[in-house]
Amino acid sequence: MKQIVLFLALASLYVATTNAEHKIVCFYDSASYSIEGVGQLTNKQLEVALQYCSHLVYGYVGIKADNYEAHSLNEKVDILEHQFSEITAFKRKYPKLKILLSVGGDRDIDESHPDKYVKLLEAGQDKQKAFIQTAHLLVKNYGFDGLDLAYQFPRNKPRKIHGVVGSVFKLFKKAFTGDEVVDRDAEKHKLQFTRLVDDLQDTLRSDGYLLSLTVLPNVNSTWYFDIPKLDKLVDFVNLGTFDFVTPQRNPEEADYSAPLFFDASEDRLPHNNVKFQTEYWAKQGFPISKLNVGIPTHGNVWKLTDDSGNTGVPIVYHADGPAPASTITKKSGLLGSAEICKLLTLPGDDVKMDREAQLIHSTLGHYGYAPAEGKSRGLWVGYDDIDTVTKKTEFALVSAGGLALFHLGHDDFLGVCAKVRYPILRSIKQTIQDYQH
Ligand SMILES: *[C@@H]1O[C@H](CO)[C@@H](O)[C@H](O)[C@H]1NC(C)=O
């Protein structure tokens, strides 16, 4: 509670002393253009969002495993159907909007070359030139304002949990921090990445292009980012501060996926929250004005079992992995925010709580659930509702330079649940405006 009061106080102080424009970096996953049915984000619907965004990031292009050239992952849409050009053409109507092209993300998945991004780091400057030149050309030929690197690094291993089985195991469990070594050469890769960004920056800046970095969820910044050096090379950094816990990575424990603060009341990891990750970059000397706090627009959904109980209060143990794919996201364990209201009957804040407890609770996230009963399977979804998004925005006003929305296609862009279009994006904008006035 003290923490919250303090940051609200700081927020007003901060706003009183600065006129800095806070960024709203909107991620556009072009895959949502090709989804059939209600999940399809057409360019007309996309345009509704643009008045609220300072930056639009077009995701994602990939790299070729054999020669490291940057290339479109869907030439039919990006090039033949002119989606690259149609998106960058929005700049004429929204001249203040900056549009970047993003490489990587979780779209450039290549089963036979799962570590090609690491290989590119090790390939040496000559081969990296192919990547830099082709990325530069994509930006230039299609009218983007710059490049975003959503670089694929090895992810933290999820913590192994086998439910709360006996006190011996509880003692033992402390040892599983979820951060076992995943890359023995991390130190070397960090050096190589800094050099790659340096070379890329040289090329892009000579044409006046922007360069940003996106830290993908569950990539440990300590291992891969030489933060003081990167400050001189990039325009801003988007922190993927969500999906700390997911049904794929943590099939047996359903929990808030993107808490703002560390809540030690349950067995959680101290660095799996927005505040820790944001302050980590700041503590390494990165200017907070260039840090954007990631906000997810999706919910993570677990199947429940009879053993999961029926209170819904997280952490919910004995869960059973991801729920089947939904019509909007087409991915198992993932719901778009337009789907959450329809699916679940018991919203989590029905739980009786005093005001103080409620405040803390909403900084962790929000949940809804349907308990398992007899043969029917239960579901549990954790997500950021407007209240949580507002608290994160208030936090970002003090501790960062803006927000990064992941991504527009999962916000309720038709206003199905919320009755307004893009409720999450709009609430971010509204909160920023309220502070500035
Ligand atoms: C990276 O992992 C280590 C543990 O191996 C942890 O102490 C550190 O906080 C993590 N860094 C970040 C930025 O999460």
- Give the chain's domains with CATH numbers: 18-297+386-436 (3.20.20.80)
CA distance 22 to 98: 14
Q: How many residues does the chain have?
A: 437
Is 50 exceeded by the pLDDT of residue 343? Answer: yes
DSSP strand pairing (298-304 vs 334-336):
antiparallel
Looking at residue 173, what is its pLDDT? 46
272 touches ligand 1 (CB under 6 Å): no
Is 60 exceeded by the pLDDT of residue 403? Answer: yes
CA distance 23 to 6: 23
Atom of ligand 1 nearest to the CA of 221: 13
Q: Kindly give the distance from the C-alpha atom of residue 145 to the centroid of ligand 1, in angstroms, as a whole number.
A: 33
For residues 29-38, average pLDDT: 92
222 touches ligand 1 (CB under 6 Å): yes
Looking at residue 129, what is its pLDDT? 98
Atom of ligand 1 nearest to the CA of 181: 5
180 touches ligand 1 (CB under 6 Å): no
Segment 283-309, tens digit of pLDDT: 999 999 999 999 999 999 999 999 998
Is 50 exceeded by the pLDDT of residue 117? Answer: yes
Q: Please tell me the least confidently modeled range out of 8-12, 98-102, 224-228.
A: 8-12
For residues 257-261, average pLDDT: 97
For residues 53-60, average pLDDT: 98
For residues 71-76, average pLDDT: 97
Report the percentage of the chain scoring pLDDT > 90: 74
Is 50 exceeded by the pLDDT of residue 47? Answer: yes
Is 80 exceeded by the pLDDT of residue 338? Answer: yes
Determine the angle formed by the axes of helices 125-141 and 186-205, rounding to 10 degrees: 40
**Given ligand 1 and candidates 215, 241, 271, which is best to mutate, with the most ligand atoms within 8 Å of its CB?**
271
Give the three-class secondary structure for 209.
Answer: coil
159 touches ligand 1 (CB under 6 Å): no
Give the three-class secondary structure for 65.
Answer: coil
Atom 4 of ligand 1, nearest CA residue: 179
CA distance 40 to 63: 26
43 touches ligand 1 (CB under 6 Å): no
Q: Kindly give the distance from the C-alpha atom of residue 173 to the centroid of ligand 1, in angstroms, as a whole number.
A: 18
CA distance 59 to 102: 5
**Given ligand 1 and candidates 159, 177, 179, which is best to mutate, with the most ligand atoms within 8 Å of its CB?**
179
Tokens of residue 289, six digits = 């004005």
Looking at residue 167, what is its pLDDT? 43
Is 90 exceeded by the pLDDT of residue 82? Answer: yes
Q: Report the phi/psi class of residue 402: left, alpha or beta, with left for phi > 0 and alpha for psi in -120 to 50.
A: left
Are the CB atoms for 243 and 158 separated by under 8 Å? no
| Terminal C-alpha separation, the chain | 25
Atom 2 of ligand 1, nearest CA residue: 179
Give the H/E segment covering residue 413. Answer: none
Tokens of residue 327, six digits = 């019509």
Is 50 exceeded by the pLDDT of residue 58? Answer: yes
Q: Kindly give the distance from the C-alpha atom of residue 185 to the centroid of ligand 1, in angstroms, as a whole number.
A: 16
> Residue 141, exposed/middle/buried by CB under 10 A (0-12, 13-18, 19+)?
exposed
What band does 16 get if pLDDT is binned at 50, 70 and 90?
very low
142 or 19: which carries more pLDDT confidence?
142
Atom 5 of ligand 1, nearest CA residue: 179
Is 90 exceeded by the pLDDT of residue 155? Answer: yes
- Alpha-carbon separation of residue 205 from 12, 200, 286, 436 (angstroms): 36, 8, 20, 32
Atom 1 of ligand 1, nearest CA residue: 220
Give the H/E segment covering residue 176. Answer: none
**Given ligand 1 and candidates 155, 218, 222, 286, which is best to mutate, with the most ligand atoms within 8 Å of its CB?**
222
**Given ligand 1 and candidates 184, 220, 291, which is best to mutate, with the most ligand atoms within 8 Å of its CB?**
220
For residues 255-282, average pLDDT: 94
241 or 161: which carries more pLDDT confidence?
241
Is 80 exceeded by the pLDDT of residue 133? Answer: yes
Is 90 exceeded by the pLDDT of residue 2? Answer: no
pTM: 0.91
194 touches ligand 1 (CB under 6 Å): no
Atom of ligand 1 nearest to the CA of 272: 14
For residues 107-112, average pLDDT: 94
Atom of ligand 1 nearest to the CA of 280: 13
279 touches ligand 1 (CB under 6 Å): no
Q: Kindly give the distance from the C-alpha atom of residue 271 to the centroid of ligand 1, in angstroms, as a whole number.
A: 7
Is 50 exceeded by the pLDDT of residue 169? Answer: no
Are the CB atoms for 214 and 240 separated by under 8 Å? yes
Looking at residue 311, what is its pLDDT? 86
Looking at residue 358, what is its pLDDT? 59
Q: What single DSSP character describes residue 38? A: G
**What's the mean per-residue pLDDT of the chain?**
89
Q: Kindly give the distance from the C-alpha atom of residue 190 to the centroid of ligand 1, in angstroms, as a whole number.
A: 15
Looking at residue 171, what is its pLDDT? 46
125 touches ligand 1 (CB under 6 Å): no
For residues 350-367, average pLDDT: 67
Looking at residue 359, what is its pLDDT? 59
Looking at residue 150, what is its pLDDT? 98
Looking at residue 356, what is its pLDDT? 58
Q: Kindly give the distance from the C-alpha atom of residue 203 to the centroid of ligand 1, in angstroms, as a whole number.
A: 32
